[in-house]
Amino acid sequence: MKTSDFDYDLPEEYIAQTPVEPRHASRLLVLHRASGELEHKQFWQIGEYLRPGDLLVINRTRVIPARLYAHKETGGKVELLLLRRVDELRWEALVGGKRMLPGKKVKLEDGLTAVIEAELDGARRMIRFEEAVEGHLERLGHMPLPPYIHERLDDPERYQTVYSQTPGSAAAPTAGLHFTPELIAQLEQQGVAFAGVTLHVGLDTFQPVHEDDPREHQIHTEWCELGEETAAAIRKTKQSGGRVIAVGTTSVRTLESAARHAKADEIVSPFAGPTDLFILPGYTFRAVDVMITNFHLPRSTLLMLVSAFAGRERVLAAYEIAKQHGYRFFSFGDAMLLD
């Protein structure tokens, strides 16, 4: 297995710069894993492929305005992207600026200061603020849109799912951006149930795989939680013949992390903590039956995860057909249903 096996050509014009309105008007490419058949639909038609008794598992994380602008004591500009809260004062962050070494101090626009405590790998640093930074984010923070999006986002809520609840992510769980309250209500009337998990999206959203062999890539941990109520709903769904449908790769990683901690007679166990689960082709899925996901970056861990679920050659062939049909890629792009 090579990282280059997960590469594909994507001209920049295919990368969605703005979201469609309404959310459920995005397109949906349906890939039937058993036959390899493809169907072209709109996302609001997803109910055609769901059955009464199915369970949609959604990630209720909420993106924090994690991009902050600051100055060094010398006046030089610094950009901070908060990735993971370590304790009340300390965060892991991506730091943009020259010579940002341990001991360096920076000051935010309202005077809050922070010090670089440790140099981690690449541009990651451990930062300690003089007081909890959360109270400053609504005033000073900016929505951390991915670097491939160049258009201004006028409504920050458009980079949140309609069901987001728990702040903590550095990026949105983008498969969930296609859902509207109206579509959720329609699916519930159809007999489809919803259950929530939380995974706070962190560094690996911004990190491509650089190693030639993806098995040598060290995936950074992300905090996730699957509670007893959701675990019980999953067990009930499976026992009654329904399917567990993961909305997004973040829900997949949470579900499969909970499956790793399950007892022999259970599908998943309640779980809260960091996960370093890296899903590559050859992985055996224990909890997820169907996946809803967006189109992912070349050579990314997320494309590898989707390939593990539906087959690398089949997924890459579907991506080529999606390009031929003008589908929009990445965070604000269109969706796939892998059943």
Other residues' Cβ atoms within 10 Å of the Cβ of residue 318: 22
| β-strand partners of 57 | 195, 246
Write the pLDDT tens digit of every residue in 115-163.
999 999 888 999 999 999 998 998 999 999 998 999 999 999 999 999 9
pLDDT attached to residue 206: 64
Please state, rounded to an integer, the average pLDDT across all residues of the chain: 95
* Cα gap 322→115, rounded to integer Å: 46
Q: Long-range CB contacts (< 8 A, 24+ apart) of 311-316?
A: 311/33, 311/281, 312/5, 312/6, 312/281, 314/31, 314/33, 314/36, 315/31, 316/6, 316/8
Percent of the chain exceeding pLDDT 70 equals: 99
What domains are defined for the chain? 3-63+153-338 (3.40.1780.10), 67-140 (2.40.10.240)
Outline where DSSP puts E strands in the chain: 27-31, 38-42, 55-59, 61-63, 67-72, 77-85, 90-96, 105-108, 113-119, 124-129, 166-169, 193-199, 222-226, 244-247, 271-275, 290-294, 335-338
Residues 169 and 198: beta-carbon distance below 8 Å? no
Which amino acid is present at 183?
L
Q: Mean pLDDT across the stretch 293-317?
A: 97
Write the pLDDT tens digit of every residue in 160-189.
999 999 999 999 999 999 999 999 999 999
Comparing CA positions, the residue from 239, 237, 169, 226 lying closest to residue 200 is 169
Which amino acid is present at 24?
H
pLDDT at residue 26 tops 70 = yes
